[in-house]
């Protein structure tokens, strides 16, 4: 039988490292890879002045809410929140992100699903939570009519930009747009 | 099945060729310590674990049993589906609905006299360290990355530098259509599955907006029903991908949408395939990869020839998509691998009467870390996070609590991060002063 142990000892001799002194400690609960990675991402998060977080349970960093308050663009003055759910497969799989408020937006549907490439087809394990929140911020600055999730909002934006802006204001103020009623999200 | 009962003329005859390889000294055996008898005996007493009893698992069990391993365990939680029978050759139509591990074990035991196969009809996550510690070798034939990552982290974390038997070589096989790979992982010595995560192509996803507005393929219609229509209509509280009623609902929705866009090709089985993310499996690719894995197991167990894994190559890729191409190379271990890059180092002389603040401040003085803004967590317990601000505020009161008050115990593992070390996560095992 192969002796990895002796190989390891040899490797350590090569590296001249003197680690692992002392007797073996009893094995206790290990921190999982997804949690370590989430911890790392969170400690590097740059939220700026327009974003904040909320952790319903601070001991569970895999589940939190991100608040976005755009300070420019068509959604300025509104306050939107996104639930972030990080699965045990993170970062192999992207975090699951959903908008909690009903929003009139070409790239977010009425259930809160977000069409952001890095949350789906373009996700890579090297991307981090910062990349995701930058992407979300961008959606508020530059709603994109060519990749619509809410087709009506996209057509509106394409055909009549001023009318779309008005409808965004109405929706954020708690009014109805095209027969769909929205909750007030203005701060 | 009576016809599978085989009685070889004699046991030695069955193993004659194998014994020629493993019991005779070769150019790679150690001339001083080689004893052929010991090798065969050691292999017979060795406990080997096979994870997965599907396409690869059937091949692995058959091969290992025919290679002289006598004490094999197999874990698989799945039951046999009619669609498995085209390649999972240890199963028959009458076995549909039975546990794969159970049926595979019995079949190979009947076929290869003298081998003992212990089936476990459950998830790998149902077992703990003590269970995995009993094996000398682990061979994986899995189709899920999540399960691979789990067993990899388990085996890496089991390594105790003081205990020779805590090092378990992991042989991992995987296939997808005409492509596959075989790799050997020597936990903490060579690159691990987490280090090699970039070798797995992520699941090809279609942009959500394509699904929502311009479906072009039958798969787009099915994904639309799965990702969008299901959430809008919630026909059942939770989607159960194994419930025919749920799949039928998705199939009907997809069909309706496909008609709307004039897209042909939506069928019930395609719906099932897309929703369950079934990767097309080709029987002979499983054979190629399982054979490679089994031979590495034999070589590791008997030392009869150099094996994949150390010191150079550890990864063999096989591609049959475009003629045949194989390439064996060394995948480097990553220093910042969250699983094997940072083995928990002992953090000695911790006074359990310390406050968390004392502990956090102590990281600034540690030569290998010198952390100015450390964030500290234990599994399931956020001790102190410097960022984001809301989490900092929530965990700040912990700073004045003692380690004991926070529930930390001797030997507990903690993860420490600092924005100054963007790519590194430090893991420590607390060692209390007695
Ligand atoms: Zn690794």
CA distance A171 to chain B (A): 20
CA–CA separation, B210 and A142 (whole Å): 19
Q: Which of A1, A40, A93 sits opposite B42 (nearest CB)?
A: A1
Residue numbers in B near A81 (CB within 8 A):
none
Residue numbers in B near A67 (CB within 8 A):
none
Between the CA of B123 and the centroid of ligand 1 the distance, in Å, is 23
Between the CA of B426 and the centroid of ligand 1 the distance, in Å, is 14
CA–CA separation, A143 and A105 (whole Å): 7
Residue written as tokens 């698989």?
B76
Take residue B169 and report the two structure tokens written for it.
Answer: 């070589």
CA-to-CA separations, B431 to A18, B102, B361, B406, B413, in angstroms, rounded: 18, 43, 17, 15, 10
A contact test, residue of B48, B145, B334, B415 with most A CBs within 10 A: B415
Of the residues B58, B195, B209, B340, only one is catalytic, namely B209
Take residue A130 and report the two structure tokens written for it.
Answer: 């910062």
Which pLDDT score is estimated for B202? Answer: 64
The string of DSSP letters for A7-33 reads HHHHHHHHHT-----SSPPPP-PPPPH
- Per DSSP, helices labelled H in chain A are 4-15, 33-43, 129-141, 151-159, 161-172
Which pLDDT score is estimated for B63? Answer: 97
Q: Is the peptide bond before B101 cis (omega within 30 degrees of 0)?
A: no
Is beta strand B170-176 parallel, antiparallel or unpaired with respect to B137-141?
parallel
Residue numbers in A near B339 (CB within 8 A):
33
Q: Phi and psi (nearest 5°) for B162?
A: -85, -15
Residue B240 backbone class (left: φ over 0; alpha: ψ -120 to 50; beta: rest): beta
Between the CA of B307 and the centroid of ligand 1 the distance, in Å, is 20
Nearest Cα neighbor of B307 from B153, B170, B150 is B170
Question: Is the separation of the CB atoms in B79 and B119 below 8 Å?
Answer: no
B283-302 and B36-45 helices cross at what angle (nearest 10)?
130
| Greatest Cα pair distance in chain B | 76
Nearest Cα neighbor of B152 from B337, B411, B427, B375 is B337
CA–CA separation, B221 and B270 (whole Å): 11
CA–CA separation, B262 and B216 (whole Å): 9
Give kind and range of the element (H or E) at residue B341: none
Q: Please report the sign of the dihedral spanned by the C-alpha atoms of residue B362, residue B366, residue B371, residue B377.
A: negative
Asked whether the beta carbons of residue B391 and residue A114 sit closer than 8 angstroms, the reply is no
Take residue B321 and report the two structure tokens written for it.
Answer: 């998509």
Is beta strand B345-350 parallel, antiparallel or unpaired with respect to B325-329?
unpaired
Residue numbers in B near A39 (CB within 8 A):
375, 377, 385, 415, 417, 425
Which pLDDT score is estimated for B10? Answer: 66
Residue numbers in B near A98 (CB within 8 A):
none
Residue written as tokens 């194994």?
B242
Residue numbers in B near A52 (CB within 8 A):
388-390
CA distance A169 to chain B (A): 24
Nearest Cα neighbor of B318 from B356, B345, B284 is B284
Question: Is the separation of the CB atoms in B240 and B223 below 8 Å?
Answer: no
Beta bridge partners of B414: B378, B428
Give kind and range of the element (H or E) at residue B21: helix B16-22
Which pLDDT score is estimated for A26? Answer: 45
CA–CA separation, A148 and A158 (whole Å): 11
Is beta strand B413-417 parallel, antiparallel or unpaired with respect to B375-378?
antiparallel
Residue B127 backbone class (left: φ over 0; alpha: ψ -120 to 50; beta: rest): beta
Between the CA of B347 and the centroid of ligand 1 the distance, in Å, is 22
Q: Residue A3's closest chain B neighbor by CA?
A: B164
Could you read off the pLDDT of A65-83 as tens digits, one per residue? 999 999 999 999 999 999 9
Question: Is the separation of the CB atoms in B144 and B173 below 8 Å?
Answer: no
Burial B156-179 (b: 16+ CB within 10 A, else e): bbbbbbeeeebbbbbbbbbbeebb
What angle is formed at CA B92 by the lines to CA B86 and CA B96, rounded to 5 degrees? Answer: 95
Question: Is the separation of the CB atoms in B181 and B173 below 8 Å?
Answer: yes
How many contacts, defined by CB atoms under 8 Å, are there between A and B? 198
Q: In sequence order, what E strands does B76-231 have? A: 116-120, 137-141, 170-176, 179-185
Could you read off the pLDDT of A100-159 as tens digits, one per residue? 999 999 999 999 999 999 999 899 888 999 999 999 999 999 999 887 899 999 999 999
Task: Report how far Cα A126 is from the mean position of its chain's Cα atoms.
Answer: 14
What count of other Cβ atoms lies within 10 Å of the Cβ of residue B326?
A: 14
Q: Please report the sign of the dihedral spanned by the C-alpha atoms of residue B404, residue B406, residue B408, residue B414.
A: negative
Which pLDDT score is estimated for B34? Answer: 76
Q: Residue A21's closest chain B neighbor by CA?
A: B346
CA–CA separation, B72 and B50 (whole Å): 7
CA distance A1 to chain B (A): 4
User: Catalytic residue at A99?
Assistant: no
Residue written as tokens 């929530």?
B394
Question: Is the separation of the CB atoms in A177 and A167 below 8 Å?
Answer: yes
Question: Is the separation of the CB atoms in B273 and B159 below 8 Å?
Answer: no
Q: Residue B348's closest chain A neighbor by CA?
A: A22
CA–CA separation, B167 and B190 (whole Å): 12
Which pLDDT score is estimated for A22? Answer: 38
Q: Residue A144's closest chain B neighbor by CA?
A: B209
Q: What is the dihedral of CA B18, B19, B25, B30, to 10 degrees?
A: 80
Question: Is the separation of the CB atoms in B243 and B264 below 8 Å?
Answer: no
Q: Residue B204's closest chain A neighbor by CA?
A: A121
Return per-residue pLDDT of chain B as tens, 434 residues.
Answer: 445 555 555 677 888 888 888 888 777 777 777 787 888 888 889 999 999 999 999 999 999 999 999 999 999 999 999 989 988 999 999 999 999 999 999 999 999 989 999 999 999 999 999 999 999 999 999 988 888 988 998 999 888 878 888 999 999 999 999 999 999 999 999 999 988 987 876 667 788 888 888 899 999 999 999 988 998 899 999 899 889 999 999 999 999 999 999 999 999 999 998 898 777 789 999 999 999 999 999 999 988 888 998 778 999 999 999 999 999 999 999 877 878 876 677 888 899 899 999 999 988 877 766 788 899 999 889 999 999 999 999 999 999 999 999 999 998 889 998 887 766 778 888 989 87
CA–CA separation, A136 and A99 (whole Å): 10
In this predicted structure, the answer to whether residue A31 has a pLDDT above a threshold of 60 is yes
Q: Which of B164, B207, B231 sits opposite A121 (nearest CB)?
A: B207
What angle is formed at CA A24 by the lines to CA A20 and CA A27, rounded to 5 degrees? Answer: 110
Instruction: Please state the pTM of the whole predicted model.
Output: 0.71
CA distance B29 to chain A (A): 11
Residue written as tokens 């209390």?
B432
Strand arrangement of the beta sheet that strand B345-350 belongs to: B345-350, B426-432, B413-417, B375-378, B381-384
Between the CA of A172 and the centroid of ligand 1 the distance, in Å, is 47
Asked whether the beta carbons of residue B301 and residue A2 sit closer than 8 angstroms, the reply is yes
Is ipTM > 0.85 here? no
CA distance B392 to chain A (A): 9
In this predicted structure, the answer to whether residue A18 has a pLDDT above a threshold of 50 is no
């Amino acid at each position: 039988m192969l002796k990895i142990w002796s190989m390891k000892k040899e490797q350590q001799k090569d590296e001249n490292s003197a680690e692992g002194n002392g007797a073996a400690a009893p094995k206790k609960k290990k921190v999982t890879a997804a949690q370590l990675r989430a911890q790392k991402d969170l400690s590097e998060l740059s939220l700026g002045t327009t974003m904040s977080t909320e952790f319903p349970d601070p001991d569970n960093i895999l589940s939190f809410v991100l608040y976005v308050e755009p300070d420019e663009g068509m959604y300025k003055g509104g306050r939107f929140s996104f639930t972030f759910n990080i699965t045990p497969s993170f970062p192999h799989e992207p975090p699951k992100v959903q908008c909690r408020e009903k929003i009139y937006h070409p790239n977010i549907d009425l259930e809160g699903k977000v069409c952001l490439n890095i949350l789906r087809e373009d996700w890579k394990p090297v991307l981090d939570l910062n990349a995701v929140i930058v992407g979300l911020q961008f959606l508020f600055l530059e709603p994109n009519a060519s990749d619509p999730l809410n087709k009506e909002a996209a057509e509106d934006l394409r055909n009549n930009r001023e009318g779309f802006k008005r409808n965004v204001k109405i929706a954020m103020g708690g009014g109805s747009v095209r027969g769909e009623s929205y909750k007030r999200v203005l701060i | 099945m009576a016809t599978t009962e085989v009685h070889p003329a004699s046991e030695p005859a069955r193993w004659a060729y194998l014994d020629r390889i493993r019991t005779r000294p070769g150019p790679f055996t150690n001339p001083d310590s080689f004893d052929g008898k010991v090798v065969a005996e050691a292999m017979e007493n060795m406990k080997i674990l096979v994870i997965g009893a599907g396409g690869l698992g059937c091949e692995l069990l058959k091969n290992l049993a025919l290679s002289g391993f006598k004490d094999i365990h197999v874990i698989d939680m799945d039951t046999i589906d009619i669609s498995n029978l085209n390649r999972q050759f240890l199963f028959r139509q009458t076995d549909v609905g039975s546990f794969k591990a159970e049926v595979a074990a019995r079949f190979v035991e009947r076929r290869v006299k003298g081998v003992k196969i212990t089936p476990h009809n459950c998830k790998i996550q149902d077992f703990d360290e003590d269970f995995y510690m009993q094996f000398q070798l682990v061979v994986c034939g899995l189709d899920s990355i999540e399960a691979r990552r789990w067993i990899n982290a388990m085996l890496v974390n089991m390594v105790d530098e003081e205990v020779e038997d805590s090092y378990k070589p992991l042989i991992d096989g995987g296939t997808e259509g005409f492509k596959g790979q075989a790799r050997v992982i020597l936990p903490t010595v060579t690159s691990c599955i987490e280090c090699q995560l970039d070798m797995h192509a992520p699941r090809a996803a279609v942009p959500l907006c394509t699904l929502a507005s311009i479906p072009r393929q039958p798969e787009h219609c099915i994904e639309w029903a799965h990702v969008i229509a299901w959430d809008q209509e919630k026909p059942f509280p939770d989607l159960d991908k194994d419930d025919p009623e749920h799949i039928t609902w998705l199939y009907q929705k997809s069909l309706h949408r496909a008609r709307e866009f004039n897209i042909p090709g939506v069928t019930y089985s395609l719906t099932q395939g897309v929703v369950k993310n079934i990767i097309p499996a080709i029987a002979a690719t499983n054979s190629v990869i399982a054979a490679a894995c089994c031979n590495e197991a034999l070589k590791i167990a008997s030392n009869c020839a150099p094996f994949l894994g150390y010191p150079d190559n550890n990864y063999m890729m096989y591609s049959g998509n475009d003629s045949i191409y194989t390439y064996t190379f060394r995948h480097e271990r990553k220093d910042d691998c969250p699983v094997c890059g940072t083995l928990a180092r002992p953090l000695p002389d911790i006074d359990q009467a310390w406050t968390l603040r004392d502990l956090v401040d102590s990281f600034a003085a540690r030569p290998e870390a010198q952390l100015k803004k450390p964030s500290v967590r234990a599994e399931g317990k956020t001790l102190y996070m410097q960022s984001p601000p809301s989490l900092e505020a929530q965990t700040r009161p912990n700073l004045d609590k003692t380690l004991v008050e926070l529930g930390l115990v001797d030997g507990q593992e903690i993860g420490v991060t600092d924005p100054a070390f963007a790519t590194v996560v430090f893991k420590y095992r607390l060692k209390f002063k007695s």
